[in-house]
Amino acid sequence: MSKLRAGDWVEVLSREEILRTLDARGRLEGMPFMPQMFQYCGKRFQVYQRAHKTCDTVESNLARKVPGGIHLDLRCDGKAYGGCQAACLIFWKDAWLRPVVEEQGRAAPGMAGRGCSEEDVERGTRADDRRRGEEPCYSCQATELRKYTTSLPWWDARQYVEDYTSGNASLGKLLRGFIYLGYYYGTLAKSVKYGGPARWLYDRFQGLWGGLPYPRRRGTIPADQTAPIATLNLQAGDFVKIKPYEEILKTLNTTNKNRGMHFDGEMAPYCGRTFRVRGRVERFINEKTGYMTRLKTPAVILDGVICQARYSNHRMFCPRAIFSWWREVWLERVSVSVQPHRGEEAPECPRRDAA
């Protein structure tokens, strides 16, 4: 278990120290050290979250345990991966970090690797796969996630203790999450057929103090009908207001998708609020295949608008902080004079279906 906690100051080791921890493919215990991470060597950062667990976006969408995992507030720029625009939060091993309170100049922690160079790290970004001819198949922390993580059952209470002791989550946040889960299962609110009264009661109670409505409702468009589309041509720096949850549901089919893109319950808390556009998403690496996928209808990501894992029953309190992807039909362009909301402090991650 890592001793680093959220808020601790660390220094990223030098290139030479990190290379000594890596194997011939640029990995430590299966976790890739990606080329863009070299730019942070020797610099100091605060720990964003202890990444002791994460969500499996490759296969099961369940929780996975990450030995020695740390998140700094640093995201992948995609430059070594064909311009992928997913902006994933980077994983760090605590063996690549040095607490700043400790004596400087000591040897790099962790086990020594079998020998690695920067060229090896660069070559490690490609997988040996030619199913699509000459099209590159990429290998990054997202595609390799199952190789450096292990299964973490939701009922393993030790993870929730570590959520608190690591500084990732407050007792209040943990309590609210468990209350929601108890209601979700105990009242059958999760049931499409029998959960109507429980969802109605949830909304009435939340309305008494201005709380959020039930976050996992279904869209109204039949699955065989085409969902609506809007073209705002939003660019980085633009300001938008997310439409009310009820309006967004009218743009979703009964599987909660708009032209293939899922609207997840983790996105509901942001509805009705104003944010700045961080960027457009037109292409991304599919974690399942390693190949670049291009969206038929582009999406946008918004500053500070992330998955908080507050309603995701099998991966509660996941610290991965994946950006939510937004269809332009779910947004309204607003004047720059409107004061945007700040993103949430802490992090079912939104599915990245091609659409």
Flag the least confident range among 101-115, 137-151, 242-256, 314-328: 101-115
Sign of CA dihedral 179, 182, 185, 189: negative
- Are 142 and 222 found together in one domain? no
Flag the least confident range among 99-108, 159-168, 210-219: 99-108
> pLDDT class for 349, splitting at 50, 70, 90?
very low
- Does residue 145 belong to any structural domain of this protein? yes
Strand 44-50 to 331-333 pairing: unpaired
Residue 258 pairs in a beta bridge with 261
Residue 79 to residues 85, 87, 130: CA-CA distances in angstroms?
9, 11, 21
- Does residue 194 belong to any structural domain of this protein? yes
What pLDDT is stored for residue 355 in this prediction? 43
What pLDDT is stored for residue 343 in this prediction? 57
Which residue segment(s) compose the domain that 201 sits in?
169-214
Stated length of the chain? 355
Q: Is residue 350 pLDDT above 50, yes or no? A: no
Distance CA 27, CA 243 (A): 43
- Are 206 and 229 found together in one domain? no
Contact 284, 349 (CB under 8 A): no
Distance of CA 210 to the CA centre of its chain: 27
- Are 254 and 190 found together in one domain? no
- Are 267 and 288 found together in one domain? yes
- Are 348 and 274 found together in one domain? yes
Torsion of CA 264, 269, 274, 275, to 10 degrees: -60
**Could you tell me which of 95, 72, 94 has the C-alpha nearest to residue 21?**
95
Contact 112, 16 (CB under 8 A): no
Q: DSSP letters of 44-77?
A: EEEEEEE-SEEE-TTTT-SEEE-TTEEEEEEE--
**Residue found by looking up tokens 């970004």 in the block:** 125
Percent of the chain exceeding pLDDT 90 equals: 85
**Residue found by looking up tokens 């720059």 in the block:** 336
- Does residue 291 belong to any structural domain of this protein? yes
What pLDDT is stored for residue 338 in this prediction? 59
**Could you tell me which of 78, 73, 110 has the C-alpha nearest to residue 90?**
73
What pLDDT is stored for residue 339 in this prediction? 62
Phi–psi pair at 89, nearest 5 degrees: -70, 130
- Are 209 and 221 found together in one domain? no
Q: Which two tokens stand for residue 245?
A: 């949850």
What pLDDT is stored for residue 351 in this prediction? 38
> pLDDT class for 346, splitting at 50, 70, 90?
very low
Query: What is the overall mean pLDDT for the chain?
Result: 91
- Are 244 and 339 found together in one domain? yes
- Are 175 and 92 found together in one domain? no
Distance CA 127, CA 137 (A): 5
Q: Is the pTM of this model over 0.75?
A: yes
- Are 248 and 274 found together in one domain? yes
- Does residue 160 belong to any structural domain of this protein? no
- Does residue 4 belong to any structural domain of this protein? no
Domain total in the chain: 3
What pLDDT is stored for residue 348 in this prediction? 39
Q: Which two tokens stand for residue 114?
A: 């079998």
